[in-house]
Amino acid sequence: MEKRKVIFDTDPGQDDAVAILTALASPELDVLGICTVAGNIPLDLTTKNALKLVELAGRTDVPVHAGCDRPLGRALVTAEHVHGATGLDGPDLPEPAIAAGSAHGVDFLIETVRAHAPDSVTLLALGPLTNVALAFAKAPGIVTRLKALVLMGGGCFEGGNITPAAEFNIYVDPEAAAMVFRSGVAITVLPLDVTHQMLSTRARIDAFRALGNKAGAAVAAILSFSERFDVAKYGSAGAPLHDPCVTAFVLDPSIFEGRMVNVEIETGSLITRGMTVADYWGVTDRPKNAFWVRSGDADRFYQLLTERIGRLP
Ligand code: RIB
Ligand code: CA
């Protein structure tokens, strides 16, 4: 079976961590590298956390490269209130022994896509789209060379999470998101509409802990830490789990349902900055530029994640 080549662009981050660990455990995927971006926490911490994750997974063969330390044209907004001061509070992971590669993450992204056959590399974006937008601007040829961009971001029926209108990844760098959604790249969006269905209930967290391996214990600690904020906010039986929906979609898209829609990004308004205006009911004739995932099977989702995390050390 030919492995599917993927590159992560990410701001780990509690949920990013689970998404990355799941991919590193999955034999169907060839993780070509991890580019980090400022988002949940500043770039130095997202990069350190990515290094911790490849070490935890026993996958130091996967290169990590630091990308942009701020949005294209805005001040950085971070989310320590959700992810903790380190961005990976919860598990006690050792300081990484390895270092990030010397190339800038945007250049690594460009060169890696160029180095592989057209239509063979899928970009998995789990944070603000700063690196992705810059790579597309610097090397427009990779837009059509990429097989697909699968991203966590936005919301329609679920509104926003950092403001009433906007989801965090899009809110942090709306100009970058607007560039990406207008680029013509084949986009699949895993928005709050579906991630809010994937609740990390106590039973699901316990299943990770029951795996008995280091990775399972770390994921249980991560989810137990990150749930405290969202359970209080939503009053739900568990916290939404966002970024692993991207990895799960690539591994088994049958878990999810969605449709092609037009998505535009609000960049001018103070009130609705970063809103993903998804024309889900087709009331405009704007071009359908994204596959918008609206729902998914939470039990199958968690079964997949748990089985894969169980394969790690
Ligand atoms: O809104 C959720 C998204 O913002 C996730 O990617 C989370 O890691 C944060 O980056
Ligand atoms: Ca993220």
Tell me: the pLDDT tens digits for 192-231?
999 999 999 999 999 999 999 999 999 999 999 877 777 7
CA of 285 to the centre of ligand 2 (A): 32
26 close to ligand 1 (CB < 6 Angstrom): no
Asked if pLDDT for residue 184 goes beyond 90, the answer is: yes
Residue extents of the structural domains in the chain: 4-309
| Sign of the alpha-carbon torsion through 11, 17, 21, 23 | negative
Mean of all residue pLDDT scores within the chain: 96
Looking at the domain that runs over 4-309, which CATH code has it been given? 3.90.245.10
Tell me, yes or no, if 242 is annotated catalytic.
yes
What is the pLDDT, as a whole number, of residue 172? 98
Name the closest-CA residue to atom 1, ligand 1.
168
Q: Across residues 15-38, what is the average pLDDT? A: 98
pLDDT of residue 295: 98
Q: How far apart are CA 284 and CA 90, in angstroms?
A: 45
Is 16 a pocket residue for ligand 1 (Cβ < 6 Å)? yes
Q: What spatial distance separates the first Cα and last Cα of the chain, rounded to whole Å? A: 24
Whether residue 234 has pLDDT greater than 90: no
Indicate whether 266 pLDDT > 80.
yes
Q: What is the DSSP string of 139-165?
A: -THHHHHSSEEEEE---STT--SSSSS
What integer is the mean pLDDT of 94-98?
97
Q: Which two tokens stand for residue 280?
A: 């889900």
Q: Quick check: 122 pLDDT over 80?
A: yes
CA distances from 170 to 74, 76, 166, 193, 221 (A): 12, 12, 7, 14, 27
40 CB under 6 A from ligand 1?
yes
User: Are residues 126 and 16 in contact, defined by beta-carbon separation less than 8 angstroms?
Assistant: yes
pTM of the model: 0.97
Contact call for residues 215 and 313 (beta carbons, < 8 A): yes
Over range 56-76, report the average pLDDT.
Answer: 98
Range with the poorest average pLDDT among 18-22, 80-84, 259-263: 80-84
* Structure confidence at residue 82 (pLDDT): 78
